Amino acid sequence: MTTFRQHRWQSFLQGYEQRARILISCPDRPGIVAAVTSFLYEQGANIVESSQYSTDPEGGTFFLRLEFDCPNIAERKEEIEAAFAPIAAEFQMRWQLRLHNDIRRIAIFVSKAEHCLLELLWQWQAGELIADIALVISNHPDLRETVESFGIPYVHIPVTKETKADAEAEQIRLLRDYQIDTIVLARYMQILSPAFVAEFPGRIINIHHSFLPAFIGARPYERAYERGVKLIGATSHYVTDDLDEGPIIEQDVARVDHRHHPDDLKRIGRLIEKTVLARALKWHLEDRVIIHGNKTIVFY
């Protein structure tokens, strides 16, 4: 299975060996784009995609994402980063340069609901989700056979109120051992502790239904049905210490009416959840998301 996974990546990445992308945020002022593009030109780069946004041309924050081809970029990455550092310092930039074929290693956390997990596995298997799904961690054993059929390790770590701290310590150990870059909570029905979140800032992505904060707690779809809601949806966001209030990456909704019973709402909700989570993760993996305070700039 490892050979199969590597072959799929190699097939997808063929022809992109010279591609990289740079993400920048900094105080807005004249000359930023000129400085960056001139630098890339001097390095022999050819820009193939460019996106930019300013919160306010007068004293706001400027955001820039550039994708480019550059000869021998893998061998020259550190050299180019060192050469760009003075420009970054001049404009007070927060920035990162990532190779197109720098495949992120991700871990999926799941409980019993399988819809979001399966969507990610199917997209990964089809080559639509370019990542190394290194392992799946669950507080239940139910989905082991499903996950292992994809050739992915499945680790069952039970979590109770009394064992939560030890369970998270074991999870963190595994994430370090597997060199995980990004964590995806695919309907993982446990609240992560602040200590856990602090280990992976800006690297944990969650999904939940959009009834929050109106219908907090158990049986949200039944309560939404009783209230007669007309829209249901889902939100994917980065995890912070503020429960379900981290920077939003993606959202979507569907219209419903009096003919939809609670089971209908759940079915529609599952479809939206898995689609929204897959989009959010894909944009994260493609470096299309910049966190700015408690919101995001997403270059689709």
The predicted pLDDT at position 7 comes to 45
* Residue 66 contacts residue 29 (beta carbons within 8 Å): no
The predicted pLDDT at position 221 comes to 85
Structure tokens at 274: 């898995």
Ramachandran area for residue 271 (φ above 0: left; ψ -120 to 50: alpha; else beta): alpha
The predicted pLDDT at position 213 comes to 64
> Which of 242, 244, 264, 287 does the annotation list as catalytic?
244
Domains of the chain (ranges; CATH) run 17-99 (3.30.70.260), 105-298 (3.40.50.170)
In the chain, what percentage of residues exceed pLDDT 90? 83
Which residues in the chain show pLDDT less than 70? 1-13, 212-213
Nearest C-alpha neighbor of 203 from the set 226, 243, 175, 173:
175
Q: Which residue has the tokens 């970054």?
A: 88
The predicted pLDDT at position 220 comes to 85
* Residue 51 contacts residue 299 (beta carbons within 8 Å): yes
**Count of CB atoms within 10 A of residue 3's CB?**
7
The predicted pLDDT at position 9 comes to 54
The predicted pLDDT at position 113 comes to 96
Is 244 annotated in the active site?
Answer: yes
Structure tokens at 198: 């602090």
Q: How far apart are CA 21 and CA 38, in angstroms?
A: 15
The predicted pLDDT at position 1 comes to 39
pTM above 0.85, yes or no: yes
Task: Please give the C-alpha separations between residue 37 and each of 5, 47, 51, 227, in angstroms, as whole numbers.
Answer: 35, 8, 12, 54
